[in-house]
Amino acid sequence: MNRVEQPEPPQTLPFGIKDTTAVACECGHEVFIQGNMFRRVSRILTGTTKDALVPITVPVCASCKSPLQDLLPEELKKPKFTL
C-alpha cells in the first residue's frame, strides 16, 4: 500500500495583520500589480551571438503605473533629491 504524503500545516507567524502597516506608492495608492522591466546584456558578457534580455519582475502601482521603489534593486531606483 502506498503512503500518501500529508501536506504540512501552515506555519503560524508571530504577528498578525494588526501588527503591520500598509505599503503605499508615492502617489498614495496601496494596490499593486505585477510588471516586468527588461535589462539588456551585451553579447560580449553572455558569450552568445546576440545581446540578451533579462526580465526583472517588479510590483507596479495599479493607479499611476510606477514601480514600487522600495523593492527595486539599488541600481534601478530613482535618485532622491533633497535640498
pLDDT at 40: 95
- Hunting for cell 493607479 — which residue is that? 63
**CA 30 – CA 27 distance, rounded (Å):** 9
Question: Helix (H) and strand (E) counts for the chain?
Answer: 1, 2
pLDDT at 74: 86
**CA 9 – CA 28 distance, rounded (Å):** 36
Alpha-helix residue ranges (DSSP H) falling in the chain: 43-46
pLDDT at 32: 96
Domain residue limits, the chain? 35-65
pLDDT at 81: 66
The pLDDT tens digits along the chain (83 residues) read 567 777 777 778 888 889 999 999 999 999 999 999 999 999 999 999 999 999 999 999 999 999 998 888 888 887 776 66
pLDDT at 2: 66
pLDDT at 83: 66
